[in-house]
Amino acid sequence: MDNDNTQQEFKSAEELHRFEAGIMLGKTAVYLLATGALINAVTGKEVATPYRYLIALYGLLISWSFLLITHRSGINLRGARRRAEELGEHLGFKLYSAEYRAPTKSKFVSRNTTRLICLFGSLVWILVLIRLSFFS
């Protein structure tokens, strides 16, 4: 592979990495907004109980959907970063080298944190369904 093509691929991988990171943040914001609106609807006094079940089921479906979407986005994000690291090392670029990035020893990186948010949302909706079933 010649140097120009390698540099172009590095630039594409870097752009894809930034794009996926921004999209992941946007997806998380949309998920939190939708979940908040549904929680507001399910706890409102003006909604009849049968509709509360439907809202809670819809909330659970949204949580699982966003969990799958976030998982796939995380795979794309990690792949783009790894490719950018490989190409950067080959080209002598230091943008993705260990000396220029913050060390990550925690499991709470953005990919895992967004998955955790969706899992927690699923748990909340399951608890809402239990409460509606047994305590209404």
Q: What is the residue type of 98?
A: A
What pLDDT does residue 74 have?
83
pTM greater than 0.85 (yes/no): no
**Average pLDDT for 87-108:** 72
Residues 42 and 128 sit within 8 Å (Cβ to Cβ): yes
Q: How far apart are CA 11 and CA 100, in angstroms?
A: 17
Q: Rounded to the nearest 5°, which phi and psi values hold at 107?
A: -85, -5
Lowest mean pLDDT among 1-10, 47-56, 58-67: 1-10
What pLDDT does residue 81 have?
83
The tens digit of pLDDT for each residue in 125-136 reads: 999 999 988 876
Q: Is the pLDDT of residue 1 over 60?
A: no
H helical segments located in 92-109: none
Model confidence at 118, in pLDDT bands (50, 70, 90)? very high
Model confidence at 23, in pLDDT bands (50, 70, 90)? confident
Model confidence at 94, in pLDDT bands (50, 70, 90)? confident
What pLDDT does residue 10 have?
83
- CA angle at 29 for the pair 23 and 33, rounded to the nearest 5°: 145
Residue 64 makes CB contacts below 8 A (sequence gap 6+) with 118, 122
Q: How far apart are CA 1 and CA 7, in angstroms?
A: 10
What pLDDT does residue 34 have?
95
